Chain A
């Protein structure tokens, strides 16, 4: 292999891939990146076996080929190189990097030891604008579970339907769901359970204006734009039936200023128990009271004006869950619906065209 690229393109490619390189690994080749030529382009690839990223950049290719390079070292070198063309050339078991007067030779591992990337039939996939996917993921993936025994809940459910797509995430205590209309060309319906880490890469690597091709194989999902590809392992279902738990008979409704509510919760939560983060909300006409009582620490009370319809209600929540759902709400006002102290509360933005709902299960208040 012998190829020349601009330093800027080279560095951009390396930093895009670097985030997937595992910091510690038992498989030494994974701490390398794969550098290879594809026609008149240079392609850089990295993987941690769950998520793989590949970036292409224009190059002058003298001799086709592929080689692996220690990811950390080559990224550090690229950062320090003068702003001149960078030539990469394989020399037996090593790779030579030449840029101006600087020359490096790095030991490398054979490219055929590098894990192969999943085969994804993109011709049978969907096309959509990156920004729509990113908006869905930004509003929902925070709600996934951090507990590892129910793998489906560690992923985000992404439902592709004819003219809309939905994303849902939950840890069983709180849930976030968003629906967007899509104008893209959709080929068929599918339910995918995607690791949130992959969606983070999608948010990071694609421009919101990028047209994405998305397709799946049996076990993998691929996202690609002209230059960039992201692949992830899919989590196997079935996903719990979330439609069934979304409440339909909420008879109490509260409109509150989102910023004021967030600030009040943050204040009282300071004295909440580290373990339960419990805060008690007392809804009554025109007023929302917030109370925290932690026996070995102390108490806090706060209140704020709200508009509330329904009989007065006292209900407990994990303050952290409330703050999480309020953070992504994006509207000035938030609508809260409730029915009983042991039934879920929903939180929705007021105004805007987003079809977005979050749901939080209460913490029982001890009698």
Chain B
């Protein structure tokens, strides 16, 4: 009887595996760049033609391979990167499955040129659809060049699913950018049909790389963050809340130097922005997570786009906390003047690459990477020099505080001056004190000699009825009087110029009919707190005494997010002495 089940020939098996690893030119390029990075390349050049469908090439100056290694490399599951099952649990290199080269070679006209850095002769291997066509000795500089032509020429089903050249080029470009962001110490060049798309020189820090990709403007809007808790380090750059815009955004996340996609991590980061960003605005994020290799499983998906954290909740919590901590400082306040480069000096390389050589270098590199992200040890003292060091104690309190147009407060700081929007500042202060009082029950409520009687619309009256418990907790004691009329017996007393009736009317209208502000709240308590903070805060145009101003400052800087009000608008503008000097032509 004829056997129904049989072992697939190698070339068929490789084609199937290729389908998992290589689905489009961008994924081939990702595998090849990762190989280059694992080979400690300092420069990587990527060229595509016709979106990579006709030809793609990745050339590096890494440590290359000798003839025997090169031949082995194109065998399935041949890898220098792990040796045993045990190593799988502590993967420190980007690739490890030993699938990439054979898979790509199985579905293309493939050419591998390599020469080791120890000066041995070079090797060129040509493979057509998985069959070795030739192996030649060649002369070339150390490093490896892989050229892939006619991708999927022997898998027409897959070839049909490729998209337009422009779309494939975009995907290649995105892949390159993600890897370039993870490795600022490596130079990247991307060409498409001989046109240069990216030219990213080696740079000492992440901000330099962001500037090279998107320009100085974005780079200047980013704040460094660096936070460690529970064995997870979250470093990188996040956009200043005031600069966040709706719509398209730049979000790149990396774990142990590896790009990955995880919408829960992104959501945790956005939650970290809490009330500082207007609803719908999406800040740019460049987040680098570092945790022990055992803490994250990257072996989930052949293309490694997804990873699995051993403790997902904890990791998300640390990411949120990292963002919040990063936004606490005055540095997150909107700067005045030209996009400064100052924030760039504050960040070290997120994933610095030590100049390691040899086989152990990859492991060494990962170790030195960890050192960067582990507190103490050899971590370079990135003492936030001038700017982010601005704290309330930096106020020169020589009475140097002025009210401008009865709306803004100008104050001197050691490193320059700040302008505070009195309404926004008070809004932030009130919001936090109300939220705290929900927990502690400390809001005061002043009984009125002359209760306020208000006629409301039916919708408003209903809102008041539904929210009366929360309203009472912020200090409004409201009694329904029938026919949509309410009597207010007691009111909060947030400042001496407080107009309780107007505040109540505006707040109730907002809560009854909605507004972007209250829609952005996460629960009823926050809805009411946001609306109250906005309506009750000191208005622009209200003259303030010296004492009131300094009290407002004290309370603003005692709040957890002093630089932003509940709409996400900035409360503080900074003007540094450097910027002043520059403006006056003194620098």
A294: chain B residues within 8 A (beta carbon): 442
Q: Are A146 and B441 in contact (CB under 8 A)?
A: no
Complex contacts, B551 vs chain A, CB 8 Å: 274
Is the Cβ of B496 less than 8 Å from the Cβ of A146? yes
Is A362 an interface residue, CB under 8 A from the partner? yes
Q: Are B497 and A295 in contact (CB under 8 A)?
A: no
A149 at the interface (CB under 8 A from B): yes
With contacts A149-B502, A275-B433 known, is A364 near B450, CB below 8 A? no
Assess whether A364 is in contact with B496, with CB atoms less than 8 Å apart.
no
**B445 on the interface (CB 8 Å rule)?**
yes
On whether the beta carbons of A364 and B444 are closer than 8 Å, the reply is yes
Which residue of B441, B448, B489, B497 contacts A147 across the interface (Cβ within 8 Å)? B497
Q: Does B387 contact A (CB under 8 A)?
A: no
Q: Closest approach, in angstroms, between the C-beta of A197 and any C-beta of chain B? A: 15
Digit string of A276-301 for contact with B (CB within 8 Å is 1, else 0)?
A: 10100000000000000111100000
Complex: A242 Cα to B551 Cα, angstroms: 33
- As a 0/1 sequence over residues 234 to 275 of chain A, the CB contacts with chain B under 8 angstroms (1 = contact) are 000000101001000000000000000000000000000111
The answer to whether residues A295 and B499 also contact, given A363-B446, A363-B447, A364-B447 and a CB cut-off of 8 A, is: no
Q: Which residue of B lies closest to A294 (CB)?
A: B442
Selected contact of B449 from candidates A147, A175, A274, A275, CB within 8 Å? A175
Enumerate B84-119 residues with CB–CB distance to A below 8 Å.
none
A316 near B436: Cβ-Cβ < 8 Å: no
**Residue numbers in B under 8 Å from A172 (CB-CB):** 448-450
**B450 / chain A contacts, CB cutoff of 8 Å:** 172, 240, 245
Contact B440–A295 (Cβ < 8 Å): yes
Does any Cβ of A come within 8 Å of B501's Cβ?
yes
B261 close to chain A: CB less than 8 A: no
A359 at the interface (CB under 8 A from B): yes
Are A278 and B444 closer than 8 Å at their CB atoms? yes
| Count of A interface residues, CB-CB < 8 Å | 33
- The yes or no answer to B21 lying at the interface (CB within 8 A) is no
- Contact across chains for B440 and A361 when beta carbons are under 8 A apart: no
In the complex, A148→B496 CA distance in Å? 10
> Judging by beta carbons under 8 Å apart, are B497 and A148 in contact?
yes
Q: Is B345 an interface residue (CB 8 A)?
A: no
Residues of A within 8 A of B501 (CB): 149
A205 CA / B495 CA spacing, docked (Å): 33
Q: Mark B486-502, 1 if CB is under 8 A from A, else 0.
A: 00011001111111011
Per-residue A-contact encoding for B357-371, CB less than 8 Å = 1, 0 else = 000000000000000
B537-554 CB contacts (< 8 Å) to partner A: 551, 554
Q: Is the CB of B447 within 8 A of A342?
A: yes
Nearest CB of chain A from residue B221's CB, rounded to whole Å: 33
B470-486 vs A: 1/0 string, CB under 8 Å?
A: 00010101000000000
A window 341-367: CB within 8 A of B: 342-344, 359, 361-364, 366-367
User: Is B441 a contact partner of A366 (Cβ separation < 8 A)?
Assistant: yes
Task: List residues of chain A with CB within 8 A of the CB of B497.
Answer: 146-148
Closest Cβ of chain B to A298, distance in Å, is 13
Residue pair B449, A173 in contact (C-beta under 8 Å): yes
B555 interfacial by beta-carbon distance below 8 Å: yes
Contact A276 B555 (CB under 8 A): no
Contact of B307 with A by CB under 8 A: no
Beta-carbon contact of B493 and A147 below 8 Å: no
Give Cα A146 to B494, complex, Å: 13
A170 at the B interface (CB under 8 A) = yes
Q: B449: which A residues are within 8 A, CB to CB?
A: 170, 172-175, 240, 242, 245, 344, 359, 361
Q: How far is the CA of A242 from the CA of B448 in the complex (A)?
A: 12
Q: How far is the CB of B300 from chain A (nearest CB, A)?
A: 45
Let me know if A318 is at the binding interface, CB within 8 A. yes
Q: Which A residue sits closest to B433, measured CB to CB?
A: A275
B374 within 8 A of A: no
Shortest CB–CB separation between residue B506 and chain A, in angstroms? 12
Instruction: Tell me the bound Cα distance from A58 to B440 in angstroms.
Output: 68
Find chain A residues with CB under 8 A from B494 CB: 275
Q: How far is the CA of A294 from the CA of B436 in the complex (A)?
A: 12
The CA of A278 and the CA of B490, in the complex, are separated in Å by 15
Residues from chain A with Cβ under 8 Å of B454 in the complex? none
Which chain B residue has the least Cβ–Cβ distance from A320? B496
Pick from B440, B441, B446, B499: contact of A318, CB below 8 A. B446
Give B482 Cβ to nearest chain A Cβ, in Å. 22
Tell me which residues across on chain B come within 8 A of A359, comparing CB atoms: 449
- Whether A147 pairs with B447 at a CB distance below 8 angstroms is no
How far does the alpha carbon of A350 sit from the alpha carbon of B446 in the complex, in Å? 27
Please measure, in the bound complex, the distance between the C-alpha atom of A161 and the C-alpha atom of B496, giving whole angstroms: 33
How long is the Cα–Cα vector from A37 to B448 in the complex, in angstroms? 52
**In the complex, what residue of chain A is closest to B473 when comparing beta carbons?**
A366
User: Are B440 and A363 closer than 8 Å at their CB atoms?
Assistant: no
**Residue in A closest to B542 when the chains form the complex, CB atoms:** A148
Contact status B444-A316, CB under 8 Å? yes
Contacts of A175 in B (CB 8 A): 449
Q: Among residues 232 to 273 in chain B, which have CB atoms less than 8 Å away from a CB atom of chain A?
A: none
B401 within 8 A of A: no
Residues of A within 8 A of B448 (CB): 172-173, 361
B443 close to A (CB within 8 Å):
yes
Residue of A nearest to B490 (CB): A364
In the assembled complex, which residues on chain B have CB atoms less than 8 Å from the CB atom of A344?
447, 449
- Mask, A82-118, CB within 8 Å of B = 1, is 0000000000000000000000000000000000000
CB distance from A320 to the nearest CB of B (A): 9
Write out the residue numbers on chain A whose beta carbons fall within 8 Å of the beta carbon of B498.
Answer: 147
Q: Are A173 and B493 in contact (CB under 8 A)?
A: yes
Cross-interface CB contact of A366 among B442, B489, B495, B499, cutoff 8 Å: B442
- Contacting B477 at CB < 8 Å: which of A242, A278, A364? A364
Closest to B548 in A: A274
Q: Which residues of B contact A366 (CB under 8 A)?
A: 437, 441-445, 473
A276 touches B447 (CB 8 A): no
Residues from chain A with Cβ under 8 Å of B437 in the complex: 366
**Could you tell me the distance in whole angstroms from the C-beta of A194 to the nearest C-beta in chain B?**
20
Cα-based distance from A276 to B491 in the complex (angstroms): 11
Q: Which of B442, B447, B555 makes the CB contact (< 8 A) with A362? A: B447
Chain A 159-179 interface mask (CB, 8 Å, partner B; 1/0): 000000000001011110000
Kindly provide the distance from the CB of B205 to the nearest chain A CB, expressed in whole angstroms: 38
Which B421-480 residues sit within 8 Å CB-CB of chain A? 433, 436-437, 440-450, 473, 475, 477
Q: How far is the CA of A33 from the CA of B195 in the complex (A)?
A: 79
- With both chains docked as a complex, state the minimum distance between the C-beta of B475 and any C-beta of chain A, in angstroms: 8
What is the bound-complex CA distance between A364 and B445, given in angstroms? Answer: 5
State A276–B433 Cα separation when bound (angstroms): 12
Q: Which residues of A contact B433 (CB under 8 A)?
A: 275
List chain B residues, Cβ under 8 A from A170.
Answer: 449
Contacts A146-B496, A275-B433; A363 near B445 (Cβ below 8 A): yes
CA–CA, A344 and B490, complex, Å: 12
Distance in angstroms between the alpha carbons of A367 and B436 in the assembled complex: 15
Residue ID in chain B nearest A293 by CB atoms: B442
Complex Cα–Cα for A363 and B555 (A): 22
In A145-163, the 8 Å CB interface with B consists of: 146-149
Report the bound CA distance from A367 to B469 in whole Å.
13
- Bound together, the chains give a CA A359 to CA B450 distance in angstroms of 13
With A245-B450, A361-B449, A364-B477 known to touch, is A147 a contact of B444 (CB < 8 Å)? Answer: no
What residues of A have a CB within 8 angstroms of the CB of B496 in the complex? 146-147
Is the pair B442, A295 in contact by a Cβ cutoff of 8 Å?
Answer: yes
Residues on the B chain within 8 Å of A295, using CB: 436, 440, 442
Q: Whole-angstrom distance from the CB of A156 to the nearest CB of chain B?
A: 16
- Return chain A residues, CB-CB under 8 Å to B477: 364
Which parts of A320-348 form the interface with B (CB within 8 Å)?
342-344
12 CB < 8 A contacts A-B: A149-B501, A172-B450, A173-B493, A174-B449, A276-B443, A294-B442, A295-B442, A342-B489, A342-B490, A361-B447, A363-B445, A364-B447
Extra 9 A-B pairs, beta carbons < 8 Å, given A149-B499, A296-B436: A147-B499, A148-B497, A149-B502, A240-B450, A245-B449, A278-B444, A342-B447, A366-B444, A366-B473
A-B pairs with lowest CB-CB distance, top 8: A276-B444, A364-B445, A361-B447, A366-B441, A149-B499, A363-B444, A245-B449, A240-B450
